[in-house]
């Protein structure tokens, strides 16, 4: 059985161990470019012992932003700033992968009158329902993802991660909850996975055969009418066939219905409810891992002593990602690997980090340095 401290290789990428920094919006970007504080944030985390860093969501178009203080990658002039970010991580001997996203029905809007687009007209935020995308708009999004991936490569990143999770645009096409289309972009599993697969194929054409492409996908959703793990297995195989080298498997940890002027909207979160056990997504990740020939990452409250190693022992994942535990303690990876679990400054699951990034820079109630 692999140990957490064992090195790992995926498509030419060398990881010194099996712990990964999960993508996390920091709210530190300035004018859609990395600020010095953001570069220092990633440098500090690369020094903290993880084997790989997946850099936070970067918007592929100005109207695709998932929060207002996001990084952008929609024009060539944005490459130079992103290159400084990639280099800061790589200078610590850690590969840097960039996550690219389109928010779709969950794109941020200062003015609610400004429309959002999606697979269908299912609302996922307060505001008017999103407008179903036209064929031409869908083809435009495929091209925008491909151009963004090309820029990520030009910026010197070691790989790119296509965000097809968390009910952002590609996830809105995958899920039967949000995709009610009757054309070739909807309907059965093949139709619902067409956009994500076409994005991956276009990204592959843009970055060449050797550049690692990751895809973030749900292994599980706790949501009635959402996608099942059987759907996820199908999508994982379709994305592998399209050219994905690694699946970063996340999930929907909680959901509820909100109300905007009498119109319901689906509130969903990738975070497991406070107090729930760790590794909840790991069993479904293991089912997907058994059905594909590429490595998988699992995530979700995995910093409890021994838990990350247990996931590897059970064959549920090749790599284990941490998000909030790294905000609370940037040295958590080093401490887990050295068996110094007792020294970890633990996340209190208060969600102050999540609340802060809606308005500004990330905050943490148990790590005063953040
Ligand atoms: C502050 C914050 C920002 C996040 N930003 C992203 C993001 O940019 N992209 C993404 O795929 N997931 C994002 N997530 C979800 C995490 O990557 C991770 O899947 C989730 O927090 C569960 O892991 P944890 O229990 O270790 O925190 C974010 C989570 C937090 C707390």
Ligand 1 interacting residues, C-beta cut-off 6 A:
22-25, 56-57, 99, 163, 165-166, 216, 250, 270-271, 299-301, 322-325, 353-354, 357, 362
Q: What pLDDT, in 10s, does the model give residues 171-209?
A: 999 999 999 999 999 999 999 999 999 999 999 999 999
Strands (E), 60-119: 71-72, 96-101, 117-118
* Average pLDDT, integer, range 314-327: 98
Residue 74 Cα, ligand 1 centroid: separation in angstroms?
23
Terminal-residue alpha carbon distance, the chain: 36
Whether the predicted model's global pTM rises above the 0.85 cut? yes
Residue-level pLDDT at 1: 83
> Is it the case that residue 222 has pLDDT exceeding 90?
no
Question: What are the distances in angstroms from CA 118 to CA 115, 132, 134, 177, 271?
Answer: 10, 5, 10, 12, 23
Domain boundaries, the chain: 8-356
Give the tokens for residue 307.
Answer: 């838990």
CATH code of the domain made up of 8-356? 3.20.20.70
> Is it the case that residue 30 has pLDDT exceeding 90?
yes
Q: How far, in Å, CA of 191 to CA of 173, rounded?
A: 9
Residue-level pLDDT at 345: 96
Find tokens 């379709």 and name the residue: 238
Residue 75 Cα, ligand 1 centroid: separation in angstroms?
26
> Is it the case that residue 113 has pLDDT exceeding 90?
no
DSSP sequence for 126-154? SSSPPEEPPHHHHHHHHHHHHHHHHHHHH
Q: What pLDDT, in 10s, does the model give residues 65-103?
A: 999 999 999 999 999 999 999 999 999 999 999 999 999
Give buried/exposed letters for 245-262 (b at 16+ CB in 10 A, else e): bbbbbbbbbebeeeeeee
Residue 136 Cα, ligand 1 centroid: separation in angstroms?
32
> Which of ligand 1's atoms lies nearest the C-alpha of 362?
1
Q: What pLDDT, in 10s, does the model give residues 270-280?
A: 999 899 999 99
Where on the phi/psi map is residue 177: left (φ > 0), alpha (ψ -120 to 50), or beta?
A: alpha
Residue 57 Cα, ligand 1 centroid: separation in angstroms?
10
């Amino acid at each position: 059985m692999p140990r957490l401290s064992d090195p790992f290789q995926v498509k030419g990428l060398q990881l010194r161990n099996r712990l990964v920094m999960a993508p996390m919006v920091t709210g530190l970007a300035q004018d859609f470019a990395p600020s010095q504080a953001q570069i220092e944030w990633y440098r500090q985390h690369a020094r903290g012992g993880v084997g790989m860093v997946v850099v936070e969501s970067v918007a592929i178009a100005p109207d695709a932003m998932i929060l207002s203080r996001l990084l952008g990658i929609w024009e060539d002039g944005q490459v130079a700033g992103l290159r400084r970010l990639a280099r800061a991580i790589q200078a610590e001997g850690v590969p840097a992968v960039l996550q690219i996203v389109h928010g779709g029905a969950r794109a941020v809007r200062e003015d609610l009158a400004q429309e959002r687009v999606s697979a269908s007209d299912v609302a996922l935020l307060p505001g008017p329902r999103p407008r179903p995308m036209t064929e031409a708009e869908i083809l435009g999004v495929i091209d925008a993802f491909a151009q963004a991936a090309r820029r990520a490569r030009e910026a010197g990143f070691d790989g790119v991660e296509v965000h097809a999770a968390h009910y952002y645009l590609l996830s809105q096409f995958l899920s039967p909850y949000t995709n009610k289309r009757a054309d070739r972009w909807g309907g059965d599993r093949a139709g619902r996975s067409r956009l994500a697969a076409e994005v991956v194929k276009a990204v592959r054409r843009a970055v060449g055969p050797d550049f690692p492409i990751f895809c973030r996908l749900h292994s599980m959703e706790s949501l009635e009418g959402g996608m099942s793990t059987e759907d996820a297995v199908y999508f994982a195989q379709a994305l592998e066939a399209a050219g994905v080298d690694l699946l970063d498997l996340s999930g929907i940890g909680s959901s509820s219905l909100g109300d905007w002027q009498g119109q319901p909207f689906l509130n969903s979160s990738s975070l497991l409810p406070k107090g729930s056990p760790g590794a909840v997504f790991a069993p479904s990740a293991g089912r997907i891992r058994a059905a594909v020939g590429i490595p998988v990452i699992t995530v979700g409250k995995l910093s409890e002593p021994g838990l990350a190693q247990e996931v590897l022992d059970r064959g549920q994942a090749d790599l284990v990602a941490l998000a909030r535990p790294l905000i609370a303690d940037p040295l958590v990876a080093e401490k887990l690997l050295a068996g110094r679990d007792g020294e970890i400054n633990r996340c209190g699951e208060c969600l102050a980090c999540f609340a802060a990034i809606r308005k500004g820079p990330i905050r943490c109630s148990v790590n005063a340095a953040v």
